[in-house]
Chain A
Amino acid sequence: MHAFEYQAPTKLADALALLAQHHGAAKPLAGGTDLIDQMRTGRYSPSLIVDIKKLDELNVLAVADSGLRIGAAVPCHRIKSNVQIQQDYAALYDSSQIIGGWQIQSRASLGGNLCNSGPAGDSIPSMMVLGGACVIAGSNGQREIPVEQFCTGPGKNVLQPGELLVEIRFPRPVARTGSHYRRMIPRNEMDIAVVGVAACVTLNESGDQFADAKIGLAAVAPTPLLATKVSEAIVGQPVNDTTMQNAAEVAKSIVKPITDMRGTAEYRSHVTGVLVKRVLQAAVVRAKGEILDYVPGH
Chain B
Amino acid sequence: MSKKHVVSATINGDEVEFLCEARDTLLDALRNSLGMTGTKEGCSNGNCGACTVIMNGQPVVSCLVLAMEAEGANLETIEGVACGSELNEIQSAFLEGAALQCGICTPGIIMQAKSLLAANPDPSEQEIRFCLSGNLCRCTGYDKIVRAVQAAAAKKRSVAS
CB neighbours (8 Å) of B66 from chain A are 6, 29, 32, 36, 49, 51
Say if the beta carbon of A171 comes within 8 Å of chain B.
Answer: no
B101 at the interface (CB under 8 A from A): no
A293 within 8 A of B: no
Task: Give B24-57 interface residues, CB cut-off 8 Å to A.
Answer: 25, 44-47, 49, 52, 55
Say yes or no: B22 contacts A107, CB within 8 Å.
Answer: no
B2, B23, B129, B132 pick with most chain A CB within 10 angstroms: B23
Q: Fill in one digit per residue for A21-34: 1 if any B CB lies within 8 Å of its CB, else 0.
A: 00000000101110
Residues on the B chain within 8 Å of A75, using CB: 58
Please, which residue of chain A has its CB at the minimum distance from the CB of B132?
A: A101
Partner of B44, one of A6, A40, A101, A190: A40
Nearest neighbor of B127 in chain A, beta-carbon distance: A295
Of the candidates B21, B45, B55, B133, the one whose C-beta lies within 8 Å of that of A190 is: B133
Helix, strand, loop or mixed for chain A's interface? loop
Q: Does any Cβ of B come within 8 Å of A172's Cβ? A: no
Interface core residue of A4, A49, A107 (most chain B CB under 10 Å): A107
Q: Let me know if B68 is at the binding interface, CB within 8 A.
A: yes
A3 close to chain B: CB less than 8 A: yes
Contact check: which of B5, B21, B64, B68 meets A107 at CB < 8 Å?
B64
Closest chain B residue, CB of each to CB of A32? B64
B68 pairs with A51, CB closer than 8 A: yes
B112 proximal to A (CB < 8 A): yes
Cβ–Cβ < 8 Å partners of B135 in chain A: 101
Q: Within the assembled complex, what's the spacing in Å between the Cα atoms of A134 and B82? A: 46
Which residues of chain A are within 8 angstroms of B55 by Cβ–Cβ distance? Answer: 106
**Which residues of A95-109 are within 8 A (CB) of B?**
100-104, 106-107
Given A29-B66, A32-B66, decide whether A4 and B22 contact each other with a Cβ distance below 8 A: yes
Give B residues with C-beta under 8 Å from A: 2, 5, 21-23, 25, 44-47, 49, 52, 55, 58-61, 63-66, 68-69, 71, 112, 115-116, 126, 129-135
